[in-house]
Every structure is written in structure tokens, then in C-alpha cells.
Amino acid sequence: MKLNVLWMYHDVMDLYGDRGNIQVLKKRCMDRNIEIEIDTCGIGESKHIGDYDLLFIGGGADREQGLLFDDLVSRKQDIIDAIDAKTFVLLICGGYQFFGQYYIDNSDNKIEGLGIFNYYTTSDSSVGRCIGNIEIEATLDGKTVNIVGFENHGGQTRGVEHPLGKVVHGHGNEYQGGYEGFYNGQVLGTYMHGPLLPKNPEVADFIISKALAKRHGEVQLAELDDTLENRAHEVMQKRMAGA
């Protein structure tokens, strides 16, 4: 069994340690003897996204997002075709924003998004920045899980029809907005850095299973010893609860 991963803009979109997500996916596959191949794709490189089981794009600041915009837009149809072919997509922060209609930065520059989904992102100086630790309650294909992470974004993402989860602590898509991220069964977008996956082993395994399903159907993953991961998760929860 093999998992093929495409990490796009690895050299540009790596805010707050997002590369850690790739390291977690690799380790959890290797611990189960699942072969995993991680390929990268930078600006101008030729890759057929539909050849991969999982597409990952991390976060970046406004400058980094501006650098790769034209390249990403040129790949729009390839991305849509890959999603239709059941490639699973994990998007963090700036990557998440790009799949919406548009993004207005803090200088009022409007950057058109891929327009794959209806949500959009604006910079609103009348509200505060969404920054700090965050916990949400999410339902992933029928299973309810609590997810913890770190958010730091001025962008306010609105019009999300399928949020990833309900905020327990923190802000989410908007300042004190109540809901975080996006999930529609095939694409998972979130503002959670930290990185996301080391403290959320259930989410990591969920993503592995969804990606493997493209070529292998439903896969039952062997259980791993997640004592350390769950302890880190609990520490974050207690910190946010003020315990």
C-alpha cells in the first residue's frame, strides 16, 4: 500500500511550522509499514496533481501569497480535476484562503482566489486580529473529535457553508465568529497552525485514511501508541480552559 503526497509551495508557504504536518503524516505511515512518497511542487514546476492521493498547501503571509498567486491560478483546472478524481486536499491558512472567491489584504488589495468555493476573506480593521490558541469540536464523516491548534490571522473568512467545526476556545474563521475552517468531504481547510497534526493524531489518521481511499478504498489503520500526542493535546485543552 502506498500514499502519494504532493506538497505545493513547500519553499514559500511554511508559516508557523506547517511542514510539521508532512513530518507527522510520514511518521504515522512508516509506523504502519505504509509506503509514503512525498513530492514537492514549487512555482513554475510541472506536476500533474491528479497523480497524487493527497495535496497539501501550508500558510504564508501576504507577501508569500502574492508571489505564488499567478502560478496557483494557472493550475485551477488541474486542481478541480484532481478533487473530482478523489485526491484529498489539506489547506492551512493562506492555502485555505486561496480556494475561496477572493482575499482583500490589509492594504485593500484584492487578490482573486481560485473560486472553487463560495467563501471569501477580507481584512477588517474594525475587529481584532484572530490570534492565540484555539480548540474546536468537529465532526469528521460522522465522528466527533476535538481539535487544538494555534491561529494568527487578520483575514476574516466569511460565507463558509460547510465549516470544519464549532469553536470551543478562540475565534475561528472570523473574530469571535464561532466556527472554524472548512470541510466538505474532500477538502479540509483550517487556520490552525502549531502545526496542526502533531497534537491531533485522530485528524492525522483521518487524513491518511481519506487519501488512501482514492486507490485502496476504505482502509482500517493499525492503532499506534499516541500517549505523547494525546498528552500534548490535553495540555493545550487545559491551558485554554484555565486549569
* Residue 130 annotated among the catalytic residues of the structure: no
**Spatial distance between the Cα atoms of 71 and 14, rounded to a whole number of angstroms:** 17
Q: Is 129 annotated as ligand-binding?
A: yes
**Per-residue tens of pLDDT for the chain, all 243 residues:** 999 999 999 988 877 788 899 999 999 999 999 999 999 999 999 999 999 999 999 987 766 767 788 899 999 999 999 999 999 999 999 899 999 999 887 778 888 899 999 999 998 777 878 999 999 999 999 999 999 999 999 889 999 999 999 999 999 999 988 999 999 999 999 999 989 999 999 999 999 999 999 999 999 999 999 999 999 999 999 999 885
First to last CA, the chain: 43
- Please choose, from the candidates 163, 149, 236, 139, the residue with its C-alpha nearest in 3D space to the C-alpha of residue 194: 149
**Spatial distance between the Cα atoms of 157 and 175, rounded to a whole number of angstroms:** 9
Which of 10, 153, 171, 193 is catalytic? The answer is 193
Q: Can you read off the three cell numbers belonging to residue 185?
A: 468531504
Q: Can you read off the three cell numbers belonging to residue 166?
A: 464549532
Exposed / middle / buried, residue 240 (Cβ in 10 Å: 0-12, 13-18, 19+):
middle
Q: What pLDDT does 243 receive?
A: 52
Give the total number of structural domains in the chain: 1
- Determine the structural domain holding residue 55 and report its residue range: 2-241
* Residue 193 annotated among the catalytic residues of the structure: yes
The CATH number given to whatever domain includes residue 104 is 3.40.50.880
Q: State the amino acid at position 63 in one-letter form.
A: R
Contacts of 158 (CB under 8 A, 6+ apart): 119, 120, 121, 122, 173, 174
Which of 29, 93, 130, 233 is catalytic? The answer is 93
